[in-house]
Amino acid sequence: MPLTLDDVASHNSFKSCWVIIKNKVYDLTEFLPEHPGGQKVILQYAGRDATHAYEPIHPPGILERMLPAERHLGEITEEARRGLNLDGKGKKMTVDEERVQRAQANKLPIDRMLNLHDLERVARQVLPYKALAYWSAAADDEITYAENSRAFGRFFFHPRVLRAVSQCDPATTILGYRTSIPVFVSGASWAKLGHPLGEINITRGAYATGIIQMISFYASLSSRQIADARGSPDQTLFFQLYKHKDDILAAQRIREVESQGYKAIFLTVDALVAGNRERDNRALFEMEDMERAASDNLATKSGTRSNAAAMVAGGGTAGFYLAGDDRDMTWGKTIPWLRGVTNLPLVIKGIQCVEDAVLAVEAGVDGILLSNHGGNSPPPIEVLYKLRKQRPDVFSKLEVYIDGGIRRGTDVLKALCLGARAVGLGRPFLYAQAAYGEEGVVKTVRIIEREVITGMRLLGAATVSDLVPEMVERVDWQAGTKL
């Protein structure tokens, strides 16, 4: 017999915890301690609908696989469906959903997008409030986030002239795999928050333009679904790994992606705990405020703790998803262990100083990605510069990449002149697919490609191997500021 909302509502604690996901009711009481994301996050939805929290971050099929059949309690009534309104009929939209719908209807056509900032501007308009807060947030006062991009303004070119550049080829290889431009997608989680196809938009766009996609460990689609979306079995995908504290689980995951055709492991080492991302946390309160204002119910019920408060106390979106990670990884233990598990090339993602770059060489990895996770520590371009100055030998021993704040072809070229093999872009691909789906991803690559080729010609470089350190100078002042 179908269940009513009242039937579900009384099971609202750890003693008996039912939730509704896509009109079906599940008894999660015994599953709570086993949930990889922890109990707290589920308990916030105990006794009510969890579809919006569950859907974008769980690959399909896991309920069937992980929850015994007797815990699948059945459908909700027609009336309950109307009340929740997941099928859209007669549902009262939230203030934010109405705004998104208007923004989607009025967004500029894609051919008006001239640079990556234009694409980001559209994404900021069409994204749900919470998704934008999660994607755009950075640590504390977000100083390093802003500085990631600004830092490129301290590097100036010394172009060479009278060189033949009518044939200009920006193609290169990363770990031996061809890419049409020296740019790859840096894995960033939960693309479906911004578009129903999520990461698949990026996979298809990367195929159409010949670049390589690294997928996030916390992609909103399974690694199998993303692998299946490749344009051909030869399309190169890399896998970003958060190593689980349980070695057996971690090894299983690596072998799984290896068998799915992923060509390299990028081990992330700079996010053992979630940074303090206040923009993301504040968004939860702000959304509650918006709804209260719209419903003329401005008073918060005294004595009740809002859902937002519970979520923030749990560490916000990022806080939940790092719960199972190995916080005791070391050079001596983890890298040899990984080498024992897989023959895939190994790249360390999240190197933030010269000393660790040198340790990575000693550990014998295939590459390092200088990264501050999009905004937590010194700008990666500055780390790259120091590495070039202090330990130029490193560049001949492994491949060096950077990501963080790269938004222009000239940023790419500055990094390449200093010795980077290629650069990663994180947010720009999330934003582009949220704004225009696969087409947005293709547009992003085409814009960067045009800017890279223009820059190469003006620098006197016909191929990426013509880009050398002497073509870049670092100054102590910032472009656009008075001396």
Ligand X SMILES: Cc1cc2nc3c(=O)[nH]c(=O)nc-3n(C[C@H](O)[C@H](O)[C@H](O)COP(=O)(O)O)c2cc1C
Residues identified as active-site? 242, 270, 373
The partner in contact with residue 262, picked from ligand X, ligand HEM, none with C-beta cut-offs of 5 to 8 angstroms by kind, is: none
Taking the complex as a whole, the smallest distance from the CB of residue 106 to ligand X amounts, in Å, to 25
Q: Which is nearer to ligand X, 186 or 213 (CB)?
A: 186
* Separation CA 61–CA 63 (nearest Å): 6
Q: Which of 20, 28, 347, 394 touches ligand HEM by CB under 6 A? A: 28
- The residues, any chain, with a CB within 8 Å of residue 423's CB and separated by 6 or more, are 182, 183, 184, 401, 402, 403, 406, 411, 412, 415, 416
Sign of the torsion formed by the C-alpha atoms of 325, 329, 333 and 337: positive
The partner in contact with residue 323, picked from ligand X, ligand HEM, none with C-beta cut-offs of 5 to 8 angstroms by kind, is: ligand HEM
Taking the complex as a whole, the smallest distance from the CB of residue 297 to ligand HEM amounts, in Å, to 25
- The residues, any chain, with a CB within 8 Å of residue 481's CB and separated by 6 or more, are none
Cα–Cα distances (Å) from 315 to 241, 287, 322, 375, 423, in that order, read 21, 17, 10, 18, 30
- The residues, any chain, with a CB within 8 Å of residue 6's CB and separated by 6 or more, are none
Taking the complex as a whole, the smallest distance from the CB of residue 104 to ligand X amounts, in Å, to 21
Name which of 426, 376, 372, 434 is nearest 131 in CA terms: 434
Cα–Cα distances (Å) from 390 to 350, 359, 361, 404, in that order, read 19, 14, 14, 21
Taking the complex as a whole, the smallest distance from the CB of residue 406 to ligand X amounts, in Å, to 6
Q: Is 419 left (phi over 0), alpha (psi -120 to 50) or beta?
A: left
**Considering the rule CB under 6 A, would residue 268 count as an interface residue with ligand X?**
yes
Q: Is 405 left (phi over 0), alpha (psi -120 to 50) or beta?
A: left
Name which of 236, 226, 179 is nearest 198 in CA terms: 226
The partner in contact with residue 186, picked from ligand HEM, ligand X, none with C-beta cut-offs of 5 to 8 angstroms by kind, is: ligand X
**Considering the rule CB under 6 A, would residue 57 count as an interface residue with ligand HEM?**
yes
Q: Which of 2, 210, 261, 324 touches ligand HEM by CB under 6 A? A: 324
Taking the complex as a whole, the smallest distance from the CB of residue 280 to ligand X amounts, in Å, to 9
The DSSP 8-state label assigned to residue 114 in this structure reads -
**Considering the rule CB under 6 A, would residue 58 count as an interface residue with ligand HEM?**
yes
CA 32 to chain centre: 27
Q: Which of 5, 41, 229, 360 touches ligand HEM by CB under 6 A? A: 41
**Run of H or E including 214:** strand 212-215
Taking the complex as a whole, the smallest distance from the CB of residue 243 to ligand HEM amounts, in Å, to 12
**Considering the rule CB under 6 A, would residue 373 count as an interface residue with ligand X?**
yes
* Separation CA 377–CA 374 (nearest Å): 9
Taking the complex as a whole, the smallest distance from the CB of residue 426 to ligand X amounts, in Å, to 2
Name which of 375, 459, 477, 421 is nearest 136 in CA terms: 375
**Considering the rule CB under 6 A, would residue 37 count as an interface residue with ligand HEM?**
yes
The partner in contact with residue 229, picked from ligand X, ligand HEM, none with C-beta cut-offs of 5 to 8 angstroms by kind, is: none
Restricted to residues 128-157, the positions that interact with ligand X (CB under 6 A) are: 134-135, 148
**Considering the rule CB under 6 A, would residue 403 count as an interface residue with ligand X?**
yes
**Considering the rule CB under 6 A, would residue 316 count as an interface residue with ligand X?**
no
* Separation CA 143–CA 421 (nearest Å): 27
Q: Which is nearer to ligand X, 76 or 425 (CB)?
A: 425
The partner in contact with residue 179, picked from ligand X, ligand HEM, none with C-beta cut-offs of 5 to 8 angstroms by kind, is: none
Q: Which is nearer to ligand HEM, 42 or 413 (CB)?
A: 42
Query: Which amino acid is it at 36?
Result: P
**Considering the rule CB under 6 A, would residue 73 count as an interface residue with ligand HEM?**
no
**Considering the rule CB under 6 A, would residue 217 count as an interface residue with ligand X?**
yes
Backbone φ and ψ for 209, nearest 5 degrees, come out as -110, -5
**Considering the rule CB under 6 A, would residue 218 count as an interface residue with ligand X?**
yes
Q: Which residues bind ligand HEM (CB under 6 A)?
A: 19, 26, 28, 31, 35-37, 41-42, 45, 50, 53-54, 57-58, 62-63, 66-67, 218, 320-321, 323-324
